Amino acid sequence: MEKKTTIAITGMMFIALLTISLVSANFWACFNKGDIINYCDLTQYGGTYFKADETCSSSNGCEKCMSNFYEDKDGGCYVHYSSLRTDCGGIPRECSTLGGEIEADSNPPEFQITSITDGDLFTSRKVLVEFSLNEKADVYYYDLIEDRGIWTRVCSNCDSGNPAYSGERSFDEGENQIKFKAVDVVGNEFISDPITFTIDSRDPRIYRTEPRRGFADGDFEVQFKEDNPEELVLHYGVSEDMRQEVLDIEDDCSLERGKYFCDVSVQLGDYDGQEIEYYFTLTDIAGNTDESKVNKLNVDTTFPVINNDPIFTQGEGRYERYIYLDINVTEENLDEVFYSYIDDRDRLRERRLCSRLKDGVCEKRVVFRNGHYDLTISVIDEAGNSLGIPISFDVDY
């Protein structure tokens, strides 16, 4: 029983002596505001502990508890005492003379954005902002497109490391151009080069296509909304012969209030007399697509034909004020036959003659005042194809 007690007492004395030995190695190192506190990288000495250098930011100076000082690093380096102890092992808070020459921090922070590179494309407005720092610093970014003179704070007293910060930030749809600023605890400042990237989080949308019914003559229209259009294609034809026409968005479209209006013309002669289908596809720079409704239209590319010199005869007797017109026309899809002329007041006059033919003939009785007339007889079909010929005559009654 007595032997066991002796062993226990001896063990306690050993622990006490070891504690006293460790405490006696600690010391307080003092620094002024702006001084660099140069810590040792213990991994170079076979250890696993690394503490980044820091700069004293307090206007009252900084007191740091150290356990050692090595002179073989540039200017010497400190080994920090346990971060779990705030009393430095119980030693008096007095500045030690241990340590090397102290250097004031006059260098800007070393900053590197690691999550965004110039020219990046993102499909979400929330973008990961991640960067590295070699010392504590306040970090901001500036929107060069809005250019409102305001720096947006990312974080205050960001810790050093890689990453020193990692978090999502929301940016505007479309092109963004920003630069970062890092300011260390004594005001040294670093400003990055501008970084340009694009946000495309919205799917493209086709609103309207024309024509929607009737006949196709080769002219098509489309309206769409998309901030970053990449490719717009017209698909047209019959099932065994579908063709494509790629529009030049810059030349074939106009932008009005955020919406594009586009026109394209293609040759449909190979489909004359057939029913075709057409639709548009729109692709943005992120690869998102939209497809318009498929429309079916008859094709008529054949122009009307007037087969005779229009016959006009003046009536007799009480009908002498009337002019009788007789026009022979070949057109399967007639819209109308009409005449036009410029009157003596320099105004354009138009009047429909026929909207249908009888055995291919348009017959009409028209009243004209006395005088000379130079008319244009026009025939237009439902596809918009038209033909006009001039005729002249005098009216005298």
Residue 279 exposed, middle or buried by CB count within 10 Å (0-12, 13-18, 19+): middle
Confidence of residue 331 (pLDDT cuts 50, 70, 90): very high
Nearest to 242 by CA among 208, 266, 210: 266
Q: What is the pLDDT of residues 271-323, one digit of tens each?
A: 999 999 999 999 999 999 999 999 999 999 889 999 998 887 887 777 788 88
What pLDDT sits at residue 9?
34
Tell me the mean pLDDT in the region 182-197: 95
Tell me the mean pLDDT in the region 104-127: 93
Instruction: Provide the percentage of residues in the chain whose pLDDT is more than 90.
Output: 57
| C-beta of residue 135 within 8 angstroms of C-beta of residue 159 | no
- Can you give the pTM of this predicted structure? 0.59
- Range with the poorest average pLDDT among 203-207, 224-228, 343-347: 343-347
| CA–CA gap between residue 139 and residue 229 (Å, rounded) | 34
pLDDT at 344 over 60: yes
Tell me the mean pLDDT in the region 264-275: 94
What pLDDT sits at residue 16?
34
Confidence of residue 90 (pLDDT cuts 50, 70, 90): confident
What pLDDT sits at residue 74?
63
Rg (CA), the chain: 44
Nearest to 154 by CA among 128, 120, 176, 118: 128
Q: What is the pLDDT of residues 154-172, one digit of tens each?
A: 999 999 999 999 999 999 9
Confidence of residue 22 (pLDDT cuts 50, 70, 90): very low
Confidence of residue 376 (pLDDT cuts 50, 70, 90): very high
What pLDDT sits at residue 322?
85
Tokens 């122009």 found at? 303
Name which residue leads in pLDDT, 144 or 16: 144
What's at 329, amino acid-wise? V
State in Å, rounded, how far the first CA of the chain is from the last one.
155
Tell me the mean pLDDT in the region 379-390: 92
| CA–CA gap between residue 139 and residue 165 (Å, rounded) | 9
Query: Mean pLDDT of all residues in the chain?
Result: 87
Integer angstrom CA distances of residue 262 from 237, 246, 248, 317: 20, 12, 9, 58
- Return the structure tokens found at 149: 């003179």
Kindly list the structural domains of the chain, giving each domain's residue range(s) and its CATH number in brackets, ordered by start.
Answer: 2-90 (no CATH), 111-199 (2.60.40.10), 205-299 (2.60.40.10), 305-395 (2.60.40.10)
